[in-house]
Amino acid sequence: MTQTSAAARARTLLAFGVVAGPIYVLVSLVQALTRDGFDLTRHAWSLLSNGDLGWIQITNLVVTGLMTVAFAVGLRRALVLAHVSPSPVVELNRAVAVGMAVGPAEGLEVLDALASERALQRDPQLPAVRGDLLAKLGRLDEARHAFERAATLTRNERERTLFLDRAAACERLVR
């Protein structure tokens, strides 16, 4: 396995951690709001695993739990990869991992050390990760600029759309 593919796999596993929580909440809320007799102010979400439709909540718990485990595996791989075969791409993945595991400010510190790396100067992922970390810190104007920079660097139309949407979201929140 090449270093780039190992880094891509670690990044994919890390993404599971990003979506696990929102998926769990969304599925649980949909169930709670559509289940007859269920009252969010009186009942715990764990009660959704009872009854004929309980399998939905149980599946939700298992799937999001597995996604969280996948995130932990990705975090471990990203950190090991950074020590075994350091490279700018691996360090970029490490910045993502640190930002998710420790906090966005710490991830931004790792990312700032990569700013002068020639290998990443034309890589849209560097400003995209920077924008994400800045947005999590509430520095929305800086995040917007980073997402706009990422949009100018990518050749992938879907990525460009995603980056521009994130920039627009930051701009809306600044106003």
**What three-state secondary structure class fits 32?**
helix
CATH number for position 112 = 1.25.40
Q: Is the confidence at residue 29, as pLDDT, over 80?
A: yes
- Does residue 160 share a domain with residue 95? yes
Q: How far apart are CA 118 and CA 112, in angstroms?
A: 13
Which carries the bigger pLDDT value, residue 78 or residue 3?
Answer: 78
**What three-state secondary structure class fits 115?**
coil
Q: How far apart are CA 76 and CA 62, in angstroms?
A: 21
Q: Is the confidence at residue 79, as pLDDT, over 90?
A: no
- Does residue 91 share a domain with residue 171? yes
- Does residue 93 share a domain with residue 73? no
- Residue 141: predicted pLDDT: 94
Domain that holds residue 20: 1-80
Q: Answer for the pair 93, 82: CB distance below 8 angstroms, yes or no.
A: yes
Q: How far apart are CA 19 and CA 40, in angstroms?
A: 23
- Does residue 173 share a domain with residue 109? yes
Q: How far apart are CA 111 and CA 95, in angstroms?
A: 6
- Does residue 99 share a domain with residue 58? no
**Domain limit, last residue, from 80, 114, 129:** 80
Question: What CA–CA distances, in Å, run from 61 to 24, 46, 48, 49, 67?
Answer: 7, 9, 11, 9, 10
Question: What CA–CA distances, in Å, run from 107 to 22, 98, 130, 137, 147?
Answer: 21, 5, 9, 11, 17
Question: What is the per-residue DSSP string for 128-141?
Answer: HHHHHHHHHTT-HH
- Does residue 139 share a domain with residue 99? yes
Residues 72-82, mean pLDDT to the nearest whole number: 82
Residues 68-74, mean pLDDT to the nearest whole number: 92
**Domain limit, last residue, from 80, 99, 116:** 80
- Residue 6: predicted pLDDT: 76
- Does residue 93 share a domain with residue 72? no
The pLDDT mean for the chain works out to 88
DSSP character for 49? G
- Does residue 175 share a domain with residue 93? yes
Phi and psi torsions of 104, nearest 5°: -65, -35
- Does residue 13 share a domain with residue 70? yes
DSSP character for 50? S
- Residue 1: predicted pLDDT: 55
Count of domains observed in the chain: 2
**Domain limit, last residue, from 52, 80, 108:** 80
- Does residue 95 share a domain with residue 74? no
- Does residue 103 share a domain with residue 49? no
- Does residue 120 share a domain with residue 71? no
